[in-house]
Amino acid sequence: MHEMAIAQGILDIVLAAAAEHDAAVVRRIKLRVGEMTEVEPDALRFCFAALAADTPAAPAELDIEVVPLAGRCQDCQCEFAVARYRFFCPVCGSADVEIISGRELQVEHLEVD
């Protein structure tokens, strides 16, 4: 389960930011998680809660935005949603596709007291 390692990384970032800003409690964590990361939001929430217990982030709510997988054809510049990891342009059929979203794994912002 790679969610545990990801949750640990998020917790490390959050606790460092909270300490840097003298925050006593972390209330909300906004995350952007790309579809291609294959992170299961409920598993991530569970792992984060287990790791955050007894830390200033214990009461934090994870607000997870799942970013869809999208590509851009390098031949015709068409931008499109990538379904089932089929990286073929729906306009010209080219396989020369650049991923433009869906790989994100970011802590976007925190709400603290």
The binding site for Zn(2+) consists of: 73, 76, 89, 92
Q: Is 50 left (phi over 0), alpha (psi -120 to 50) or beta?
A: alpha
Residue count of the chain, please give it: 113
Q: Is the dihedral of CA 12, 62, 81, 4 positive or negative?
A: positive
Annotated binding site: 2, 73, 76, 89, 92
Annotated binding site for Ni(2+): 2
Q: Is 56 left (phi over 0), alpha (psi -120 to 50) or beta?
A: alpha
